């Protein structure tokens, strides 16, 4: 069967500034990742920092050609706050950074590649983290100043705008788990940071509206449909609570303008509400919601009722209310440790259709990270990644079904374009359509990159 996608479907991929640009010569403030690397380099896989990454800052012209060769009609970048404001993320904008992004964007547009510009992808300037990061109103204002500068400088070139990528990530990693600087375990502070993240999103949207551009603005969320282990009421309740913490916490305020009542009641009951919020903040959030939504989908969330006791004198954590459940017989991407469940993409899109006004949306990340991909190189030196082609096809089949079922899905962006650096994992898992030689920076299109070109040319596959 030929699966054809709607006309003008956005075929592309995504990456972020910290993961792909490299430091370059424009001048740039230190980010929390550079800071963390200085303090604890051993935390990063094989001790590799984000100093060079894919060196896109020097190679962007070549990279735009590779986008074309791999069928991109659209691509998501992030704009580095630290590069735009090299003086600790505040003050005067950096003319060299503006020149770089304008050149890149002009090059992309000249080659028929629509620009999806994201403003924040985990890359807080370290000096702003020092004054509280997302726990600080000063940082919210600095972010809005950065966002507003980008709207003004690049608004004529950008196709659609996004305020954040996966805003849950830094909250989880910094306040609940241990994978994001400054990793302190404190739920209540995390709730404050989450609230100010939502406020920053709303204030950036308010600033954007002043310009009257034809482009839209929204956000990009990592959403996992949540499944209870069984239909036992305790499991169902556990799944509902997990879903409130991990899915609805950002989705509701950013798309609907309100926080889920049940989540608020729970935080009140356990004395975990943020302390600094005003009625004015709430109305700002209410009045400035997403016009478009990016959905990052990797794996489902499976949950069961807690079987083991919690330590009530230990720190408050969402998993007081549930345990993660490993489904027997599940399919795994064993390299990344993530379950592969392609139907989840359909469930996710249906949720957005049914519960979020069928807002215009697209898949903004989906992809397969594989370790030691050189093993799959053929004699001519090309990575023969049939597993990635299958992964993409399997997910696209369910995405196609979601569109048939009435979901307002406008595109599919893969994670990622050229193999790039990833946070703590550095270069452990490769996700790209294009392979990167870390020694020489040579780029080489993988089999999946050739497949992606055909997919885009045919606007579907059979």
Give the residue closest to ligand BGP by C-beta. Answer: 422
- Taking CB under 6 A as the rule, does residue 452 contact ligand BGP? no
- Taking CB under 6 A as the rule, does residue 123 contact ligand BGP? no
Peptide bond into 182 cis (omega under 30): yes
**How far, in Å, CA of 285 to CA of 258, rounded?**
7
Coil, helix or strand at residue 272: coil
Report 332-361 residues binding ligand BGP (CB under 6 A).
336
Residue 456 backbone dihedrals phi, psi, to 5 degrees:
-70, -45
Cβ distance 183 to 129 under 8 Å?
no
Report 142-171 residues binding ligand BGP (CB under 6 A).
165-166
- Taking CB under 6 A as the rule, does residue 16 contact ligand BGP? yes
> Would you say 224 or 408 has its CB closer to ligand BGP?
224
Coil, helix or strand at residue 15: coil
Cβ distance 72 to 11 under 8 Å?
yes
* Residues 6 or more apart whose Cβ sits within 8 Å of residue 334: none
- Taking CB under 6 A as the rule, does residue 80 contact ligand BGP? no
Q: Answer yes or no: 166 catalytic.
A: yes
- Taking CB under 6 A as the rule, does residue 422 contact ligand BGP? yes
- Taking CB under 6 A as the rule, does residue 369 contact ligand BGP? yes
Q: How far is the CB of 201 from ligand BGP (least distance, A)?
A: 16
Pick from 54, 70, 222, 448: which binds ligand BGP (CB under 6 A)? 222
Q: For strands 74-78 and 370-371, give the pairing.
A: unpaired
| Mask for 278-317, x = binds ligand BGP (CB under 6 A) | ----------------------------------------
What Rg value do the Cα atoms of the chain yield, rounded? 21
**How far, in Å, CA of 278 to CA of 324, rounded?**
35
∠ CA 154-86-202, nearest 5°, is: 50
Number of residues lying near ligand BGP (CB under 6 A): 13
Write down the catalytic residue from 166, 299, 339, 373. 166
**How far, in Å, CA of 83 to CA of 420, rounded?**
19
Q: How far is the CB of 361 from ligand BGP (least distance, A)?
A: 17
Q: Answer yes or no: 240 catalytic.
A: no
- Taking CB under 6 A as the rule, does residue 415 contact ligand BGP? yes
| Residues assigned a catalytic role | 166, 365
The site for ligand BGP (CB under 6 A) is made up of 16, 19, 165-166, 222, 336, 365, 369, 415, 422-423, 425, 429
């Amino acid at each position: 069967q030929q699966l054809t996608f709607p006309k003008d479907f956005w075929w592309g991929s995504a990456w972020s500034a910290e993961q792909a640009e490299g430091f370059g010569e424009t001048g740039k403030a230190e980010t929390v990742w550079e800071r963390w690397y200085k303090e604890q380099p051993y935390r990063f896989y094989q001790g590799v920092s984000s100093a060079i990454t894919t060196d896109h800052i020097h190679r962007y012209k070549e990279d735009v050609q590779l986008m074309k060769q791999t069928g991109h009609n659209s691509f998501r970048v992030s704009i580095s706050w630290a590069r735009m404001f090299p003086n600790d993320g505040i003050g005067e904008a950096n003319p060299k950074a503006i020149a770089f992004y304008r050149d890149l964007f002009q090059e992309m547009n000249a080659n028929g590649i629509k620009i999806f510009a994201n403003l924040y992808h985990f890359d807080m300037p370290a000096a702003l983290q020092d004054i509280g990061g997302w726990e600080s109103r000063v940082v919210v204002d600095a972010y809005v100043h950065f966002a507003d500068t980008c709207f003004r400088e690049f608004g004529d070139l950008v196709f659609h705008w996004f305020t954040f990528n996966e805003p849950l990530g830094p909250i989880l990693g910094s306040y609940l788990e241990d994978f994001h600087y400054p990793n302190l375990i404190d739920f209540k502070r995390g709730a404050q940071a989450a609230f100010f993240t939502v406020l920053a999103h709303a204030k950036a949207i308010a600033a954007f509206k002043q310009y009257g551009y034809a482009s839209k603005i929204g956000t990009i969320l990592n959403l996992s449909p949540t499944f209870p282990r069984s239909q036992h009421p305790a499991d169902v309740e556990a799944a509902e609570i997990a879903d409130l913490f991990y899915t609805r916490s950002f989705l509701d305020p950013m798309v609907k303008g309100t926080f889920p009542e049940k989540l608020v009641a729970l935080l009140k009951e356990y004395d975990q509400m943020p302390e600094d919020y005003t009625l004015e903040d709430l109305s700002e959030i209410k009045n400035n919601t997403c016009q478009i939504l990016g959905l990052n989908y990797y794996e489902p969330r499976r949950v069961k009722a807690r079987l083991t006791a919690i330590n009530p004198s230990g720190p408050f954590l969402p998993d007081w209310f549930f345990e993660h459940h490993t489904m027997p017989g599940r399919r795994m991407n064993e390299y990344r440790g993530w379950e592969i469940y392609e139907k989840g993409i359909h469930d996710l899109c249906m949720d957005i259709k049914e519960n979020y006004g069928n807002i215009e949306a697209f898949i903004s990340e989906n992809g397969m990270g594989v370790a030691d991909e050189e093993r799959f190189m053929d004699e001519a030196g090309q990575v023969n990644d049939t597993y990635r082609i299958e992964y993409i096809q399997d997910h696209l089949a369910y995405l196609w079904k979601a569109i048939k079922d009435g979901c307002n899905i406008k595109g599919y962006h893969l994670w990622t374009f050229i193999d790039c650096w990833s946070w703590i994992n550095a270069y452990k898992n490769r996700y790209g359509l294009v392979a990167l030689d870390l020694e020489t920076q040579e780029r080489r299109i993988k089999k999946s990159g050739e497949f992606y070109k055909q997919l885009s040319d045919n606007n579907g596959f059979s």
